[in-house]
Amino acid sequence: MNINNDGVNKYKAYINAISAAISAYPDVRVVAVVEPDSLANMVTNMSDNNCVVAKPAYEECTKYVLSTIKQCNVWLYLDAGHAGWLGWPANIDPAATMFANIYKSVPNNRVKGLATNVANYNALSAATPDKVVESNPNTDELKYITALAPKLASNGFPASFIVDQGRSGVQGIRDAWGNWCNIEGAGFGLRPGANTLSSYIDSIVWIKPGGECDGTSDTSAVRYDSTCGLADAKKPAPEAGQWFQAYFEDLLTYANPAL
């Protein structure tokens, strides 16, 4: 969304189309994750002027989603980053306040809770901390959720969670916790279902399609991100959003539990 090119209104039209499609099938249960990555940036990236400028538009558009997609057959989960992003002591309290304020800003919304680890690699529960977690006490998604949930509740948001484990089968494969692009050696993780280890968690899910590329490793590409050229990123990789067959095959090969 480019806010300088009528982006807010274009986004609202996009949401209106989704809402109309949901309304056309009232007997179909819809569970939707709202804007992966977007809101977390409002907690951690306010030193970037682009994020400062975009913040009002993000907030307006998120509230528009909650006020528009509120059919009885819908549950919404706001994206809450992951343990290595918002789980840090400096981030978790501001995150809880922000999510609760958004939740309370739209009466009678259909927000069930928060989604964590979308398209990321963290374990639900790690037997030993990953080498990259440094001083963060929330070394896996279960610890992050267990720490975050009471803070949300005290702010008036009785949230439950869903946790993406679609790329979390292998741990210890990143060179830094912030690395996110096509991490080499990843495998499908815990199967989707209600065996979640916590009363806070509604379900384990696989949100990002396994073979969908995060970004290209082609340094000459207009959309090249240097993260996709790091040593722990699988190469060669196509453009973001395109099918990455070799990566999908790796996810199958390294799946844990095995497929």
- 214 catalytic, yes or no? yes
First to last CA, the chain: 38
Start-end of H helices in the chain: 7-23, 38-44, 49-68, 83-86, 89-105, 141-154, 245-253
Catalytic residue, chosen from 37, 79, 130, 175, is 37
Query: Checking DSSP bridges between strand 201-205 and strand 74-79, what pairing results, if any?
Result: unpaired
- 37 catalytic, yes or no? yes
SS3 content of the chain, % helix, strand, coil (to 5): 35, 10, 50
Q: List Cα–Cα distances, 100 to 18, 49, 226, in angstroms.
A: 24, 24, 34
Catalytic residue, chosen from 140, 202, 214, 250, is 214
Closest CA to 42 of 7, 2, 81, 84: 81
Active-site residue list: 37, 214
